[in-house]
Amino acid sequence: MKFTDGQWLHRPGITAHYPAEAYDISAEKDRLVIHAPTRPIKHRGDTLQGPLLTITLSSPLEGVMRVRIEHFTGGAQAGPEIPLQVTGDAGVRIERDEESTRIHSGELSARVSQKNGWELSFESGGELLTKSAWRGMGYIQHEDGGTYVHEQLSIRVGESVYGLGERFTAFVKNGQVIENDNKDGGTGCEQAYKSVPFYMTNRGYGVLVNETGPVSFEIASEKVSRVQFSIPGESLEYFVIAGPTPKDVLRRLTALTGRPALPPAWSFGLWLSTSFTTNYDEATCTKFIEGMEERDLPVHVFHFDCFWMREFDWCNFEWDPRVFPDPGAMLKRFHERGLKICVWINPYIGQRSRLFAEGVEKGYFIKRTDGGVWQTDLWQPGMAIVDFTNPEAREWYASHLRGLLEMGVDALKTDFGERIPTEGVVYHDGSDPVKMHNFYSILYNECVFDLVREIRGEGEAVLFARSSYASGQRFPTHWGGDCWSNFESMAESLRGGLSLSLCGFGFWSHDIGGFEGPSPASTYKRWAAFGLLSSHSRLHGSTSYRVPWVYDEEASDVLRLFTKLKCRLMPYLWAAAVTAHREGIPTMRAMMLEFPGDPACDNLDRQYLLGGSLLVAPVFSEDGSVDYYLPAGRWTHLLTGEVREGGRWYRETYECLSLPLFVRPGTVLPMGGCDDRPDYEYSKELTLRLYELEDGQSASCQLHDLQGRPSATVTATRKSGKVVLDIEGNLKGATVEIVGGPSAQLPDGAKQFELNL
C-alpha cells in the first residue's frame, strides 16, 4: 500500500509519523527495548503528546533478529499467528558505546543509532545487510480512522528480491506491488493461492513478516531503493534472517517456521487423474490404466477428482452410488494393480450435502455475527465453510475422511481454502476473521495431514494441496493450481514454483499439460518432460483427459521416457527429498539458490536445479528452440553424454524426446536399477556415474532407505590416473561408470575400490 506522493509529500488523508530518534534504549533480559518519539525531543515540553513508538529487538534463533514495532498496546490481540517452531530467546550479546547500541545473535547484529536521527541497521560478518533509515519505519493515520504500521528496508544497487509465496509474476520481484492475500485467481494473474510474507535477496539475508493478516509489499515500487511492508493496525513484527548464502537463509527460515515432512517415496511416481468435468466410472478408469499398461507407461497413483461424489453434494465424502456401486471392491482391484489412490476434497459443505444440517445444528461452520451460518453460492450452492478453530468440528470433518482412508484411499487432494470471508463472520475461538483469511489453509491442511499420518503411519502421509501460507511447507506436497494449456502458463507455473521454493516449500507440482482448455500435443509433450523432472508429477486437466494417446503416439514415447528416467533417478531424488526434510533446502532449486556467486543466475526463471546436480531447462516453444545458461565448468548432458563448457549461454533446438538436462561437473550420480516404480531398494543394482571429476577432487553421494535413513555413502576421489571409491554401508550388484571413460562392477560388500582411468 502506498502512503506517499513522491519523495516529499503524502497522499490525501494521510498523516505519517516517523521515529525521530532513539530517545532511550534499555536492555531487558535478552532484548533491547527502544522508545522512539516521532519528533525530536529538544525540551520537556516535546515529551507531551505522541505518537511514541516502542521498538523491541530480540532473537528467537541464532542468526535471526526479531523486530517488533508498537504504537498502542492495549487493544485485543486476537489470533491466529504463524506457528513458530522455535520458542523463547536465543542467547544474545549487547554492546554499547557513545554512538550506538548493538544486539548480536551469532554473526548477525542489529545496530541502533543514538545520534544523528533514527537508524536501525542489520549487519552480518561485518557487512551491512539492510537498514531502516530516514522515514523507513512509520505509523500512519488515515482520515477515515484507519491506522497502519510500515517498515522500509533498504536494498542496494544490483540487489534482487525473490519469494513472497507462489507468485506467477516476474521471478525477480523488484518493481512489483504484492498483496499478501490468498486468492483463487489462477496462474495467469498477480494473485496467489499460497501467499507467504517472506522474501530473500541476493545479498545474503531474508525477511519474514510475522503476521497472518493482509501485509502489503511495495518492492522497490513506492521507494525504489527500499522494500516496504505495511499492515493495518497498531503493531508490526518481522524477522531479519541472516545467511550468508541463500541456503543458509532457508535453513534458518525453516528452523523457525517448520521443515517439510518427508513424503512417501511412491508419491514421487506418476499420478494419473480422471480430470475434472470429464465422465468417469470404474470401466473408464480401468480403460485408462490398461491403456497405460499396454504402452509400457508406469502409473503409480490414480486420482479421482470432484465427481467421485455426486453433483451438488460436495462435500459429503460418499462415493456417488450411481457411478461407483462398490467403491471398496474397486479400490481393492486398483491396489492389486500396484496403484495408490487419491481423492479430491475441499473444506466446503454444500447445502444439499447430508452433512449440512448436522454441521448447522452442532455449530461446526463459520458463523455470521448474527449467529447464523455464513453461506454463499460461489462454488457449491448454499455452501458453508468448516470452522477448523472448533476442535469438535475438526474431529467431525476428520471422522468422515477416516472412513475413506480405511476403505483404501491413500492420499487426499486438499483443494480450495482461499475463498474465506473476512467481514461479518465469527470463529469458534474468537480469531480475527481478517487474520484467519490466509491462515485458514494451514488449519485445513494440518487437520487432513495429521489424519492421514495417523491412519497410514509416519512417513506415509502426503497431500496434494493448493492453498497455503507461511509454515504450510510442513504438510507436503503442493501444486500450482489452475493454469491454461499453453507454453505461457507452463512458464508462469515454473516461476510460481521457484518463488514458492524460496519460501521454504520443499515439494511442488503442477498440472502436466495444463488445466484449462485442450492442450496442444506440442505443449503436452514438453510439459510432460518438465513435469516428470519436478518433485511430484501429475497428469490432470479440466474438460479433457490427459492420457498421452489422445494427443499422438509420440506423446506416449515422451511420457514413457521421462517416467522411467525419473524412476531410475529416485536414489538421487530421494536424497534431495531427505535434504528438503532435514534442512529445508527444496528439491527444485532456483539457479540463484545453487549458484549465488554467479550474477548471471540472478534473473534465471526458465531453468532450475533438480536436487543439487541436475540442471533442467524446459522447452517452452513449439519448434523446440530453447535458450539456457550453464555456470562455469564442464557440464554433461544426461541423455546424450555430450559435454558443454559452462560460463556461457546456449541456443539450441531439441526434439520432443529430449531437453537441456545437464549433470553438474564433479558429481557422483546414483542411478537406480528399477525403471517402473519409484519405491524400491536404492542400494541394489545401482549404477554410480562419475561426471568430470578433476584430479585431486572428491565427490560423494548418499543413499537412503525408504524411511529416509542413511543406508550407504560413496565418496569418489580422483588422483594419479585412477579413481578411488570409499564406501560406507553395503551395495548389492553396483556398477561404477566414469562417464566418457571405463566402468567396472563393484564387489558386493566392498569398502574401497580403485578404477584405473
Q: Which residues are the active-site residues?
A: 415, 418, 482
Residue 229 to residue 110: CA distance in whole angstroms: 19
700 forms beta bridges with 715
DSSP assignments along 544-581, one per residue: S---GGGT-HHHHHHHHHHHHHHHHTHHHHHHHHHHHH
Contact between 172 and 251 (Cβ < 8 Å): no
698, containing H or E segment: strand 698-704
Output the CA angle 536-537-538, nearest 5 degrees: 130
Residue 711 CB-half CA count within 13 A: 19
End-to-end alpha-carbon separation of the chain, Å? 63
Task: Say how many residues make up the chain.
Answer: 757
Q: What are phi and psi of 582, to 5 degrees?
A: -90, -30
Contact between 473 and 586 (Cβ < 8 Å): no
Q: What are phi and psi of 660, to 5 degrees?
A: -60, 110
Residue appearing with cell numbers 493448493: 466
Q: Supply the DSSP symbol for 96.
A: E
| Rg value, the chain, Cα | 27
Contact between 482 and 266 (Cβ < 8 Å): no
Question: Which residues are CB-neighbours of 467 under 8 A, at least 6 positions away?
Answer: 182, 193, 194, 414, 416, 417, 418, 440, 441, 444, 445
Question: Which residues are CB-neighbours of 28 under 8 A, at least 6 positions away?
Answer: none
| Cell (9 digits) for 573 | 531424488
Contact between 205 and 243 (Cβ < 8 Å): yes
CB atoms within 10 A of CB 311: 11
Contact between 691 and 669 (Cβ < 8 Å): yes
Question: Which residues are CB-neighbours of 537 under 8 A, at least 6 positions away?
Answer: 268, 269, 270, 271, 509, 512, 531, 563, 566
Contact between 61 and 90 (Cβ < 8 Å): yes
CA distances from 139 to 19, 50, 145, 499 (A): 9, 11, 13, 30
Q: Supply the DSSP symbol for 182.
A: B
Residue 743 to residue 745: CA distance in whole angstroms: 7
| Cell (9 digits) for 399 | 471422522
CA distances from 111 to 103, 123, 417, 502 (A): 7, 8, 41, 27
Residue 546 to residue 629: CA distance in whole angstroms: 31
Residue type at position 281: D
Which of these, 11, 99, 21, 96, lies nearest to 53 by C-alpha position? Answer: 21
